[in-house]
């Protein structure tokens, strides 16, 4: 009864040294996050407030989207609406090709990943350069992110050193010193920034009251991507809109503390209009399933997510199986849920990756009931035709035995609970006691 996730996790765990390193690395991020949360007396109130702001905005999303796009247009920004990934990619390509763009520099965006924009543009002759260091590394390696905040965390400095040598980015073979490698990456990216025809960002937040796109980075690469080329495109999912600066202040205090355990990202950049007279700024608002999820009361709260990544860092299963053990491109508790919303049929093999320990829900800065949602997805599996037959048989057997006292007595009395308790559960040394409690207590009462 193995699932997609359980099979990949098993092979991930074969390398004990690496998997221990992986677990410890993410646990240390969780600890940094704890230290930050402990310094704010109002942390739990902030979580509650953040959750409510998101719920409020989501339930008035039509109004806030209109306000946002209206204000952006007042600022001279061209606003586009994309119903799905295909339309999004077409819009981006349309803007770029009408400006004769050959090279696009971009900062990190899970949305462009979701829409598989890079391969789409590359197939049409546009070079796309990721400028977040982690994203750049995995782009050069031809990989996908293994974590939403730290996309290349699965690689060590030797992996990166060798990659940079092969790609001609570093000029001292064998020098894998992280500071040196970072310096060389910066030099090489500088050339890309200077020669790019357009810059693209994702968005952490869109402010309805002002039309601002807010991007949080540690490397300043979103600013470089947008302050050199004259053409800027920002891609934003519908659910990223929040009402105003007062609400931004709440999220801004939580996002980075929760995600990386820093009090704030190094850069919090607001983009409101084209950077110069003859420049252009475009915002593309992307639905791609979000309005359907919003209409689904059982799962709409997933849209509260601010993509901080802390549910991954705390998840004991993620830490011991790695980002590539999940079939959806976003792993961990939030990824299990987003994958199911995207395509339940395709991604139900991730549902097993949860013990229902609920650490994710307790960590989540916007209080999403992540485990609760996983539980409810499991209930709908048989309806989807993807449930596990042997698991169902076992569950049927249990329910038969438990519903019939005679059978239950026979099972427990004849020491044949083995019929209902799978062998795998039995610790080596566990022996069946001579009598179950319900018989002992009868004798005791006599």
Partner 1 sequence: MKVGLFIPCYVDALFPEVGMASLKLLRHLGVEVVYPQGQTCCGQPMANGGFEKQATHLARKFEDKFGNFDYVVAPSVSCTAFVRHNYPSLIKDCKVADKALDIVEFLHDVLKVKGPLGRFPHRVSIHNSCHGVRELGLSSPSEQNIPKFNKIRDLLQLVEGIDVVEPERPDECCGFGGLFAMEEKAVSQRMGCDKISRHAATGAEYVTGPDSSCLMQLSASAERLGLDIKCKHVVEILASGL
Residue 117 burial (C-beta neighbours within 10 Å; 0-12, 13-18, 19+): buried
Min. distance of Cβ 337 from ligand SF4 in angstroms? 8
| 280 DSSP β-pair partners | 231
User: Which 363-402 residues touch partner 1, going by CB under 8 A?
Assistant: 363, 375, 378-379, 381-382, 387-388, 391-392, 394-396, 398-399, 401-402
Q: Is 354 in the site for ligand SF4 (CB under 6 A)?
A: no
CA 147: distance to chain centroid? 7
**Tokens linked to 271:** 């983009």
Binding-site member from 53, 198, 366, 371 for ligand SF4 (CB under 6 A): 366
Q: Is 412 in the site for partner 1 (CB under 8 A)?
A: yes
Q: Is 78 in the site for ligand SF4 (CB under 6 A)?
A: no
- Piece in contact with partner 1 (CB under 8 A), picked from 125-133, 184-192, 199-207, 354-362: 354-362
Cβ atoms of 205 and 237 within 8 Å: the answer is no
**How many CB atoms neighbour CB 441 within 10 A?**
10
Residue 334 contact among ligand SF4, partner 1, none, beta carbon within 5 to 8 Å by kind: ligand SF4
**Tokens linked to 360:** 């994710």
Q: How far is CA 21 from CA 27, 153, 346, in A?
A: 10, 11, 30
- Piece in contact with partner 1 (CB under 8 A), picked from 3-11, 126-134, 140-148, 299-307: 3-11
User: Which 309-328 residues touch ligand SF4, going by CB under 6 A?
Assistant: 309-311
Nearer to ligand SF4, 199 or 365 (CB): 365
Nearer to ligand SF4, 9 or 311 (CB): 311
Binding-site member from 203, 364, 371, 374 for ligand SF4 (CB under 6 A): 364
Q: Is 435 in the site for partner 1 (CB under 8 A)?
A: yes
Cβ atoms of 368 and 301 within 8 Å: the answer is yes
Nearer to partner 1, 161 or 309 (CB): 309
Min. distance of Cβ 21 from partner 1 in angstroms? 13
User: Which 251-310 residues touch ligand SF4, going by CB under 6 A?
Assistant: 305-310
Binding-site member from 110, 196, 241, 334 for ligand SF4 (CB under 6 A): 334
What are the backbone angles phi and psi of residue 326, rounded to the nearest 5°?
A: -105, 145
Residue 366 contact among partner 1, ligand SF4, none, beta carbon within 5 to 8 Å by kind: ligand SF4
Cβ atoms of 321 and 147 within 8 Å: the answer is no
CA angle in degrees (0–180, nearest 5) for 326-316-11: 50
What does DSSP assign to residue 230? S
200's enclosing H/E stretch is strand 198-201
In the block, residue with structure tokens 């960002």: 201
What distance in Å separates the CA atoms of residue 92 and residue 284, rounded to the nearest whole number? 8
Residue 266 contact among partner 1, ligand SF4, none, beta carbon within 5 to 8 Å by kind: none
Residue 381 contact among partner 1, ligand SF4, none, beta carbon within 5 to 8 Å by kind: partner 1
Nearer to ligand SF4, 238 or 363 (CB): 363
71's enclosing H/E stretch is helix 61-74
The residues, ordered by sequence, that sit 6+ positions from 143 with a Cβ below 8 Å of its Cβ are none
In the block, residue with structure tokens 């971009």: 106
Nearer to ligand SF4, 368 or 374 (CB): 368
Q: Which residues bind ligand SF4 (CB under 6 A)?
A: 305-311, 334, 363-366, 368, 370
């Amino acid at each position: 009864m193995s699932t997609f996730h359980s099979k990949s996790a098993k092979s991930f765990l074969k390398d004990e040294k690496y998997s221990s390193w992986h677990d410890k690395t993410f646990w240390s991020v969780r600890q940094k996050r704890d230290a930050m949360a402990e310094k704010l007396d109002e942390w739990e109130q902030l979580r509650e407030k953040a959750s409510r702001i998101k719920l409020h905005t989501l339930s008035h999303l039509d109004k806030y989207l209109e306000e946002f796009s209206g204000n952006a247009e007042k600022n001279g920004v061209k606003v586009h609406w994309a119903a799905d990934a295909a339309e999004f990619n077409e819009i981006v390509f349309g803007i770029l090709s009408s400006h004769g763009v050959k090279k696009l520099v971009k900062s990190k965006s899970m949305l462009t990943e979701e829409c598989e924009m890079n391969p789409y543009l590359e197939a049409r002759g546009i070079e796309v350069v990721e400028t977040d260091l982690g994203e750049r590394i995995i782009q050069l390696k031809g990989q996908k992110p293994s974590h939403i905040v730290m996309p290349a965390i699965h690689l060590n400095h030797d992996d990166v050193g060798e990659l940079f040598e092969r790609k001609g980015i570093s000029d001292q073979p064998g020098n894998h010193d992280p500071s040196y490698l970072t310096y060389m990456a910066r030099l090489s990216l500088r050339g890309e920034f200077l020669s790019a025809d357009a810059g693209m960002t994702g968005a952490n937040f869109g402010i309805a009251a002002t039309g601002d796109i807010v991007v949080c980075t540690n490397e300043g690469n979103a600013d470089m991507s947008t302050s050199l080329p004259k053409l800027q495109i920002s891609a934003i999912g519908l659910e990223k809109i929040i009402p105003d600066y007062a609400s931004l202040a709440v999220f801004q205090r939580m996002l980075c503390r929760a995600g990386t355990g820093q009090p704030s990202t190094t850069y919090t950049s607001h983009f409101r209009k084209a950077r110069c007279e003859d420049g252009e700024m475009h915002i593309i608002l992307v639905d791609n399933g979000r309005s359907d999820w919003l209409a689904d009361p059982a799962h709409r709260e997933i849209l509260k997510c601010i993509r901080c990544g802390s549910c991954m860092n705390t998840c004991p299963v993620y830490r011991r199986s790695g980002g590539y053990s999940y079939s959806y491109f976003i792993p961990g508790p939030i990824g299990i849920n987003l994958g199911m919303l995207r395509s339940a049929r395709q991604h139900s093999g991730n549902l097993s990756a949860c013990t229902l320990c609920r650490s994710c829900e307790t960590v989540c800065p916007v209080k999403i009931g992540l485990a609760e949602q996983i539980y409810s997805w499991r209930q709908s599996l048989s309806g989807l035709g993807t449930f596990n037959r042997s698991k169902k048989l076992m569950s049927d057997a249990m329910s038969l035995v438990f519903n019939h006292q005679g059978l239950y007595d026979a099972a427990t009395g004849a020491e044949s609970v083995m019929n209902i308790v799978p062998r795998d559960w039995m610790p080596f040394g566990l022996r069946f006691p001579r009598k179950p409690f319900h018989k002992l207590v009868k004798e005791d009462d006599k």
